[in-house]
Amino acid sequence: MEKKLKKKNKAIYLLFLMPFVYFATACFVVWLVKTSGIYPSGSDTMYHVYRGDYVYNAIKSGNWYPLYDSAWYNGVEILRYWSPFPAYVMAFCQYLAGGSQFGAYLFYIGGVCFLGACVWPFIGRGFNRPYLGAFIGLLWFFMPNNLCAIFIEGNLARSLSMIFLPVFIYSVYKYLYNHKLRYIPLMVFTFLLMELCHLGYAGMVAIAVIIYGIVYMIQKGRKKAVLDVVISMIFGFMLLGIWLVASLRGGITSLDNSENMANFFQNLWTTINPFERLTRGFEYFYFGFAALVVIVFGILFGYKKSRTGFVTGFIILLMTTKSAYAVLKHLPGSQYLWMLRFISIALCMILMSFLMWDRLKKTLVLMLCVLLVVDTIPSLSLIVGEHNDISVQERMAARQDSTLISSAQAVTKQRLALMDESILGATGSWLVSDYGNPVDATFGAGREAANTSANIVNLNKAFAQGDFLYVFDRCLELGDDSVLVKKSLLKQYNNSLYDLEAAANTVGYKKVEQNSDYILYHIETPDNWGVISSYRAVAIGSGAAAISMQFPAVKTADSANLNDYTYEELSGYKEVFLNGFTYDDKETAEDLVLRLSRAGVKVIIYADGIPKDKRTHSQNFLGVTCSLITFHNGYPDMDTRIGTIYPDMFPQGHTTWNTVYIDGLDTVWGTFYDNGLNLDFYGTVNNDNIIMTGLNLTYFYSLTDDVSVGQLLSNMSGISSEELPDRKIVPLKVEYGNNEITITSNNDNVNTTLAYHDIFSSSSDITHRNNLMYVNKGTTVIKMRYPYLWQGALVSAAGVVLMVVWLIVKRRNNN
C-alpha cells in the first residue's frame, strides 16, 4: 500500500513536470517546422488555414458565425458541412500570431503537439503507470501515422481530434472495467469535441469502439456496459444536433464516396514494413512494425483486461487490407469505411492497453518503448524538411508566378477557374483566393461542401474526355472570365492543345499568357456579370450530363424524374433526350412523350436507361421492350441508316459490355448480327419524332470518342457537337453584407453565376437551375439564415434531457 502511495505521489510530480517538457518539445517542433523550408506542407493544410483566416476576419468585422463565403465554389457555406471547431481554433491561433496566417499554422502545430501530450500523464496516473504515461505523451505526436495526417494529408481537423481521442478511449476503458458513472460524462464530452473537430472521424472512432465492445463482450460477456458506451456516443451525436442536423442535409452525405473508399486500403506488407518508407517516401499510411510487435506480445502474453485492445488493434489492421476491401465494400454504408484512417484509433487503443498491462516486466517495457521510438525516426524528416530556412512568403510568391496564378489574378474581374485537377492540393485554391491579389474561384477545397459539386465534377470529366467546347461554355455559365489550364493534363489524357485553343476561341476566350506548365485564357466582361441563356435541347436523367458534354447545346435538367416536368415546360425545346430517367407514373410519362412528339419535339430515348417496370421487372416503355445482351472486346458491325459502322474496340477495363437491344420498334434504322440473328438497336416508336437506341452508345462514345459512333449520335437528333447554347453576358451589381447579398439586374431570368443555397430567402422571386441562382429585373435582397435551427436545437435539447434522465436512473439503480 505504501509503495502504491509513493508511486501516486511521483505521478503528481510528473503531472507538474511533464507539461514543461512537452512545452519545450512543442517549441522545438515549431522551430523545426518554421525553418524546414517546406511548411506549410500537406495537401489539405491551406484549406484549414483559409477557413481560419475567413473566420478571423469575419469576427473582426463583428460576424461571429459567418454563414457564407463568396470566394470559393461560386459561394459556399464554409462552416456547415465541415466541423467548425478547427476553423475557430485556427482563427484564435491567427489572433495570437498577430493576424499572420503562417504564424497561425505554427501555433496550431505547436498546440496539437503540446496538448496532445499533456493528456497522457493523467491517463498514466489513472492506470497507475505514471512513467509510461509520461513517455507515451512524448511519443504520441511523433507516431508515424499522426505525422502523416498533419504533414502529408494536411488534415489539421483530424489532427486536432488527436488531443481528445486518448481521453475518450481512456474513459471507455475505465467504464467497461469499473462501471463508475463519472466516466460517462467524460465519454460524451470528449466524443462531442471529436465531432466538432471532424464528424467523419468521430464516426470512425465510434465504429472502432463498437469493434472493441464486441471483443470485450466475447471475452467478458458484459453486454450492458458496452450498451452504455454506445448510448453515450449516441448522446454525443444528439448534443451536437444544432449543427449536425444542418450538416447532414446535403453536402458530404449527398455524395457517393464508394470510389474514394477503395483508396483507403493497401497491402498488409506496405502497412507494417518499416523499410518501405525509406524507399517509397511517406505518402502512404503506416501502422508500424513496432506497434505490431506490441500487439503480438500483448495477445500472446497479456491478460484479459489488456488483451481486448490488442485484439481490436489487430482486427482493425486486418481490415485495412485489400482483401478486406473485397468484403467490406458490400456492407451497407461501406462508402464511409476508409479503414486506413482507423490506424491512429487502433494505435491509441494499443498504447492504452500497453499502459493497462501492468504485469509486464520492466525490461520488456523498456525494450518495446525503444522499439516504438526507433520506428518513429524515419518520419521525423516530415518535420525537419530541407531545413533551408527559405521564407514561406518567398516560396508562395514563386509558386504563384510559376503557375500563372498571379497573372490570372491581375486580369480576372469576377471569377477564375483553375483547371488543374487540384494538383496543388488546397494550396492552389488558397493562392487564388487568399494570397497576393485574391479573386473568387469556381473551384476551392473541401468540395463536399460545394452546392456546385456536380458542375465541378462534370467540368473535370469533360476536360479529361477532351470535350473542350463544353468546358469553356460551362465556365462561362459559372461566371468565369478567366480559365487557367495545367498543360500536362492534355498529355495525360491524350488531348490536343490545338483543340483546346480552338474551343476557347469559339466560346470567346483568348489566350493571355502561357509558360511551360500553364496556359491562361480570358474573356472580356463587365466587372460583375450574369448570363442569359437559351438552349436548343434538354437532357433528363442520370446520363444527362454525358449527353451535354458531347453536345454542349443540350441543357442538363435538374431532376431525373419525368413526372416533374410539364408539357409546357418541355415543348419549348426542339429535342428532349431521356437517358437514365425515372418516373412515378408510367402512363403519365408515356403520355407526355407522345404529346411532345405530336407537337414536333423530337424525343431521343436511350434504352439502357429505361426504368424497370415495378411489377414485371422488365425494361419497357411505349410498347418497346429491352432485352439484355453482352458483348466481349467490341461491338459487331452495325447496319444503320447512315451506312455500315465499324466501331472501335472496347477500351481497357470495359472488355465485357452489358447492354440492351430493342424489340417492338415501328421503324428500324439500325441492326446488327449476333449468333446468326438480326437484332434491332435503333429506330422509331409510334412516330418519327420518338427515336430509341440501345447498345449504350453514349457511354461508349464518352470513353472512346469514336468518330463513326459520334456521327450516328448526331444523326439521331440533328444536333452537332460543335453547336453551343445561345448566351448573352449582362452586367449585374452584387454587394455583400453580413449574411446578406444584394443583386441589381436590368434583365429578367438572369443566371447570377452564384451557387444557390437553401439558406437563401428573399421577398423577390429567386429560382435555381443547374445549382445556380436566377434573379429577375430590379433589386433582389437575399437574406441568409442559419439552416434547420429549430430542428437542430430540438435534437440538442432532447439529447440533454434524455442524458440527464438516463444518468439519474443509472445512479439510482447503482445505489
pLDDT by residue (tens digit) across 721-730? Answer: 899 999 999 9
H helices within 35-100, ranges in order?
Answer: 45-60, 85-96
Task: Examine the pLDDT at 2 and tell me if it is beyond 60.
Answer: no
The reply to whether 412 falls in a domain is: yes
The reply to whether 807 falls in a domain is: no
Give CA separation, 113 vs 109, 131, 226, 334, in Å. 6, 19, 31, 32
Strand pairing report for 638-640 and 667-674: antiparallel
Residue 795 near residue 242 (C-beta atoms within 8 A): yes
Tens of pLDDT along 729-740?
A: 999 999 999 899
730 lies in which domain range?
726-784
Most confident range, picked from 3-7, 255-259, 481-485? 481-485
State the pLDDT at residue 651: 86
State the pLDDT at residue 7: 54
Give CA separation, 787 vs 67, 758, 797, in Å. 9, 8, 17
Does residue 269 share a domain with residue 186? Answer: yes
Tens of pLDDT along 661-684?
A: 999 999 999 999 888 788 999 999
- Phi, psi for 501 (deg, rounded to 5): -60, -45
The reply to whether 802 falls in a domain is: no
Tens of pLDDT along 556-611?
A: 999 999 999 999 999 999 999 999 999 999 999 999 999 999 999 999 999 998 99
Which has the closest alpha carbon to 810: 29, 34, 235? 235
Task: Examine the pLDDT at 8 and tell me if it is beyond 60.
Answer: no
State the pLDDT at residue 124: 92
Q: Can you tell me the distance from the alpha carbon of 414 to that of 409, in angstroms, rounded to the nearest whole number?
A: 10
Q: What is the mean pLDDT of residues 110-135?
A: 93
Q: Can you tell me the distance from the alpha carbon of 691 to that of 651, in angstroms, rounded to the nearest whole number?
A: 27
Residue 719 near residue 480 (C-beta atoms within 8 A): no
Does residue 231 share a domain with residue 113? Answer: yes
Give 716-759 as a 3 state SS string: HHCCCCCCCCEEEEEEEEEEEECCEEEEEECCCCEEEEEECCCC
Whole-number average pLDDT of the chain: 91
Does residue 170 share a domain with residue 35? Answer: yes
**In CATH, what number is assigned to the domain containing residue 683?**
3.40.50.880
Q: How far is CA 335 from the centre of its chain?
A: 12
State the pLDDT at residue 515: 95
The reply to whether 242 falls in a domain is: yes
Does residue 111 share a domain with residue 192? Answer: yes
Q: Can you tell me the distance from the alpha carbon of 70 to that of 540, in angstroms, rounded to the nearest whole number?
A: 30
Last residue of a domain, one of 462, 494, 525: 525
The reply to whether 531 falls in a domain is: no
Number of domains in the chain: 4
Last residue of a domain, one of 525, 551, 584: 525
Terminus-to-terminus CA distance in the chain, angstroms?
28
Does residue 644 share a domain with residue 508? Answer: no
Beta bridge partners of 555: 538
| Residue type, position 667, single letter | T
Tens of pLDDT along 620-636?
A: 999 999 999 999 999 99
C-alpha cell recorded at residue 283: 505518402
State the pLDDT at residue 6: 56
Task: Examine the pLDDT at 257 and tell me if it is beyond 70.
Answer: no
The reply to whether 243 falls in a domain is: yes
State the pLDDT at residue 3: 54
Beta bridge partners of 750: 775
Q: Can you tell me the distance from the alpha carbon of 552 to that of 722, in angstroms, rounded to the nearest whole number?
A: 8
Tens of pLDDT along 205-224?
A: 999 999 999 999 988 777 88
Does residue 362 share a domain with residue 312? Answer: yes
Does residue 263 share a domain with residue 291? Answer: yes
Tens of pLDDT along 434-488?
A: 999 999 999 999 888 899 999 999 999 999 999 999 999 999 999 999 999 999 9
Does residue 672 share a domain with residue 549? Answer: yes
Tens of pLDDT along 290-349?
A: 999 999 999 988 877 888 999 999 999 999 998 888 888 877 767 678 888 899 999 999
Last residue of a domain, one of 525, 545, 580: 525
Res. 4 pLDDT band, cuts 50 70 90: low
The Cβ of residue 49 has, within 10 Å, a number of other Cβ atoms equal to 26
Q: Can you tell me the distance from the alpha carbon of 452 to that of 386, in angstroms, rounded to the nearest whole number?
A: 39
Which residue is listed with cell 407526355? 592
Res. 360 pLDDT band, cuts 50 70 90: confident
Task: Examine the pLDDT at 141 and tell me if it is beyond 90.
Answer: yes
Tens of pLDDT along 749-764?
A: 999 999 999 999 999 8
| Residue type, position 105, single letter | Y
Q: Can you tell me the distance from the alpha carbon of 209 to that of 86, in angstroms, rounded to the nearest whole number?
A: 23
Tens of pLDDT along 31-65?
A: 999 999 888 999 999 999 999 999 999 999 999 99
Name, in order, each residue with C-beta under 8 angstroms of 367's C-beta and a sequence gap of 6 or more.
none
Does residue 477 share a domain with residue 405? Answer: yes
C-alpha cell recorded at residue 662: 430493342
Beta bridge partners of 21: none
State the pLDDT at residue 716: 85
Q: What is the mean pLDDT of residues 181-201?
A: 95
Does residue 671 share a domain with residue 706? Answer: yes
Q: How far is CA 201 from the centre of its chain?
A: 13
The reply to whether 791 falls in a domain is: no
Does residue 396 share a domain with residue 375? Answer: no
Which residue is listed with cell 447570377? 752
Does residue 504 share a domain with residue 402? Answer: yes
Task: Examine the pLDDT at 809 and tell me if it is beyond 60.
Answer: yes
